Chains A and B, each alone.
Chain A
Amino acid sequence: MNELTGAVSSSLFYGTALGLMALAFTIIYTVSQVFNFAVGQFMILAALLTTAVRFTGNAVVNDLIAIVLVGAMGSATYLVALRWPETHGASPLTLVIITFGIGIVVEQVAVLAWGSYPLSEAPVLGGHFVLNGNYIPYQGLLLIAVAVVTVTGLGLLQRHTVVGKQLIALGGNRATARYYGINDLALVSVAWAISFAVLAVVGTLYLPLTGVAITTDLSYGVAAFAAAVIGGLGNPAGALSGGIIVAFVTNLTGVYVNPNITDTLTFALLFAFLVFRPGGLTGRAIELLGPRA
Chain B
Amino acid sequence: MASWIAGWMAREHVRAARTDLAMAVVFAAVAVFTAGHGSAFATTTTINFGLFTLLTASLQVMLGFSNQASLTQAGIYGIGAYVAVYVEMKSGVAMPVALLASLAAGAVAGLLLALPLARLREHILAMGTLAVQVILSEAFIHLPGLTGGVNGEAVPDALINSVPVMVTICACAAGVIMALNHFRISRVGRQVLAVKADETMAASIGINVRLLRLVAVVVSFAVAAGAGCLFTETAGFISPDDFTLTSSLAVLVAVVLGGRSVTWGTLAGAAAYSVLNAETTSLPGLSDLLLGIMLVVVLGYLPSGLTGITLPGRWRR
For B293, what are the chain A residues with a Cβ–Cβ distance below 8 Å?
Answer: 101, 105
Is A291 among interface residues, defined by CB-CB distance under 8 A?
yes
Is A85 among interface residues, defined by CB-CB distance under 8 A?
yes
B199 touching A263, Cβ below 8 Å:
no
**Binary contact readout B241-252 vs A (1 if CB under 8 angstroms, 0 otherwise):** 000011001001
Q: Which interface residue of A90, A108, A112, A278 has the most chain B CB atoms within 10 A?
A: A108
Q: A84-B300, A94-B299, A290-B120 are in contact. Are A275 and B292 (CB under 8 A)?
A: no
A222 touching B134, Cβ below 8 Å:
yes
Is A234 among interface residues, defined by CB-CB distance under 8 A?
no
**Binary contact readout B197-239 vs A (1 if CB under 8 angstroms, 0 otherwise):** 0011011000001100000000000000000000000000000
B121 touching A289, Cβ below 8 Å:
yes
Chain A min CB distance to B149 (Å)? 10
**Binary contact readout B119-161 vs A (1 if CB under 8 angstroms, 0 otherwise):** 1111110111011101100110110000000000000000000
Chain A min CB distance to B278 (Å)? 18
Provide the bound-state CA to CA distance between A84 and B296, in Å. Answer: 11
Provide the bound-state CA to CA distance between A81 and B297, in Å. Answer: 8
Q: A93-B126, A267-B131, A274-B128 are in contact. Are A105 and B120 (CB under 8 A)?
A: no
Provide the bound-state CA to CA distance between A97 and B292, in Å. Answer: 10
A260 touching B116, Cβ below 8 Å:
no
Is A40 among interface residues, defined by CB-CB distance under 8 A?
no
**Binary contact readout A247-272 vs B (1 if CB under 8 angstroms, 0 otherwise):** 00000000000001101100110110
- Which B82-116 residues have a C-beta within 8 angstroms of A? 116
For B286, what are the chain A residues with a Cβ–Cβ distance below 8 Å?
Answer: 108
Cross-chain contact of B200 among A35, A95, A291 (Cβ < 8 A): A291
Is B291 among interface residues, defined by CB-CB distance under 8 A?
yes
For B300, what are the chain A residues with a Cβ–Cβ distance below 8 Å?
Answer: 81-82, 84-85, 90, 98
Is A92 among interface residues, defined by CB-CB distance under 8 A?
yes
- Which A89-125 residues have a C-beta within 8 angstroms of B? 90-98, 100-105, 107-109, 111-112
Closest to A83 in B: B300
Is B285 among interface residues, defined by CB-CB distance under 8 A?
yes
Is A73 among interface residues, defined by CB-CB distance under 8 A?
no
Is A68 among interface residues, defined by CB-CB distance under 8 A?
no
Grouping DSSP codes into helix (H, G, I), strand (E, B) and loop, the A interface class, with mixed when no group exceeds half, is: helix
Closest to A233 in B: B124
Provide the bound-state CA to CA distance between A277 and B298, in Å. Answer: 34
For B142, what are the chain A residues with a Cβ–Cβ distance below 8 Å?
Answer: 260-261, 264
Count: A-B pairs, CB below 8 Å: 136
Q: A264-B139, A267-B131, A268-B135 are in contact. Are A97 and B301 (CB under 8 A)?
A: no
Chain B min CB distance to A215 (Å)? 11
Q: Which interface residue of B117, B119, B296 has the most chain A CB atoms within 10 A?
A: B296
- Which B56-83 residues have a C-beta within 8 angstroms of A? 69
Chain B min CB distance to A48 (Å)? 16
For A275, what are the chain B residues with a Cβ–Cβ distance below 8 Å?
Answer: 116-117, 119-120, 128
A291 touching B199, Cβ below 8 Å:
yes
Is A293 among interface residues, defined by CB-CB distance under 8 A?
yes
Q: Which interface residue of A104, A109, A218, A225 has the most chain B CB atoms within 10 A?
A: A104
Is A288 among interface residues, defined by CB-CB distance under 8 A?
yes
Closest to B137 in A: A263
Cross-chain contact of A263 among B121, B123, B134, B288 (Cβ < 8 A): B134
A98 touching B299, Cβ below 8 Å:
yes
Chain B min CB distance to A99 (Å)? 9
For A293, what are the chain B residues with a Cβ–Cβ distance below 8 Å?
Answer: 199-200, 202-203, 209-210
A81 touching B296, Cβ below 8 Å:
yes
Is B303 among interface residues, defined by CB-CB distance under 8 A?
yes
**Binary contact readout A206-218 vs B (1 if CB under 8 angstroms, 0 otherwise):** 0000000000001
B303 touching A108, Cβ below 8 Å:
no
A222 touching B130, Cβ below 8 Å:
yes
Closest to A262 in B: B138
19 A-B pairs within 8 Å (CB atoms) are namely: A97-B249, A97-B256, A101-B293, A102-B292, A104-B288, A105-B293, A107-B292, A111-B285, A218-B245, A222-B130, A260-B138, A264-B135, A267-B132, A270-B131, A274-B131, A288-B124, A290-B199, A293-B200, A293-B210
Q: Which 3 A-B pairs have the closest CB atoms?
A: A101-B295, A104-B292, A290-B121
Identify 8 new A-B residue pairs, CB closer than 8 A, beyond the known A98-B295, A263-B134.
A84-B301, A109-B289, A264-B135, A264-B139, A267-B132, A267-B134, A267-B138, A274-B120
